[in-house]
C-alpha cells in the first residue's frame, strides 16, 4: 500500500512546482488591481498586461458621470466605457446611486498620470471633482508582485 502512494505524492509535488513556475512566468495572468475613491492621489504599480479597475460612486439619474481626462495611450488602454452597478441597498429606489467601474490595461513599461473628471449634466468641463492616480507599468519580468504603493489595498 505504501509503495502505491509514493508515485502519487511525487506527481503532486511536480504539479505544484509546475504551477508555481507558471504563476511567476512573464505574461502569466495576474489579478486586477482594484482602486476606489479612497485611493485618490495614490501611486499604483502594474505589470505589462495587468488590468487596473477603478470603482467610483456614480448616480446616472443626476446626469453626473465620470470621464477619462488624461493618460498616456502608449502605456494604458481603456477597456470599454465603464460598467454601472446600482447599489444593492437602493435597488428599486428612484434616483438612487451606485458605482461605475472603469478598467484599463497596462500596455508597456512607463509612467503616466491617469485623471478622471466628474462631469455635470450637459457640460463639456468637469466640476472640481477629480480622481487621479500615478501609474507605473513595469515589464512583466521585473514585477515582484508588489501591486500598489501607498494604498491600503
pLDDT 10s digits, 21-61: 444 444 456 899 999 999 999 999 999 999 999 999 998 88
Decide if 119 is inside a domain.
Answer: yes
CA dihedral sign, ordered 55, 56, 59, 64: negative
Question: Is the pLDDT higher at 65 or at 143?
Answer: 65
pLDDT at residue number 140 = 76
Is the separation of the CB atoms in 66 and 59 below 8 Å?
A: no
Q: Which helix (H) or strand (E) holds 104?
A: strand 98-106
pLDDT at residue number 16 = 45
pLDDT at residue number 138 = 97
Decide if 101 is inside a domain.
Answer: yes
Mean pLDDT of 7-34: 54
Decide if 4 is inside a domain.
Answer: no
Decide if 71 is inside a domain.
Answer: yes
Cα distance between residue 102 and residue 57, in whole Å: 11
Decide if 39 is inside a domain.
Answer: yes
Where does the pLDDT of residue 131 fall: very low under 50, low under 70, confident under 90, or very high at 90 and above?
very high
Decide if 23 is inside a domain.
Answer: no
pLDDT at residue number 9 = 43
The CATH number covering residue 47 comes to: 2.60.40.2020
The number of domains in the chain is 1
CB contact burial 110-119 (16+ within 10 A = b; e otherwise): eebebebbbb
pLDDT at residue number 141 = 74
Is the separation of the CB atoms in 124 and 89 below 8 Å?
A: no
Question: Is the pLDDT higher at 121 or at 143?
Answer: 121
The domain of 81 spans 30-149
Residue-wise pLDDT for 66-104, tens only, equals: 999 999 999 999 999 899 998 876 566 666 789 999 999
pTM of the full structure: 0.71
Decide if 15 is inside a domain.
Answer: no
Decide if 60 is inside a domain.
Answer: yes
Amino acid at each position: 500500500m505504501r509503495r502505491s502512494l509514493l508515485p502519487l505524492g511525487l506527481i503532486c509535488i511536480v504539479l505544484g512546482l509546475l504551477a508555481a513556475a507558471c504563476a511567476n512566468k512573464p505574461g502569466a495572468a495576474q489579478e486586477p488591481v482594484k482602486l476606489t475613491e479612497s485611493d485618490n492621489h495614490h501611486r499604483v504599480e502594474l505589470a505589462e498586461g495587468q488590468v487596473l479597475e477603478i470603482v467610483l460612486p456614480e448616480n446616472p439619474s443626476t446626469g453626473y458621470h465620470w470621464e477619462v481626462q488624461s493618460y498616456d495611450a502608449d502605456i494604458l488602454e481603456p477597456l470599454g466605457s465603464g460598467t454601472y452597478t446600482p447599489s444593492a441597498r437602493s435597488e428599486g429606489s428612484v434616483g438612487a446611486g451606485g458605482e461605475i467601474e472603469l478598467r484599463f490595461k497596462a500596455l508597456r513599461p512607463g509612467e503616466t498620470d491617469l485623471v478622471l473628471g466628474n462631469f455635470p449634466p450637459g457640460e463639456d468641463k468637469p466640476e472640481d471633482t477629480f480622481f487621479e492616480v500615478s501609474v507605473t507599468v513595469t515589464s512583466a519580468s521585473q514585477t515582484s508582485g508588489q501591486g500598489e504603493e501607498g494604498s491600503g489595498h
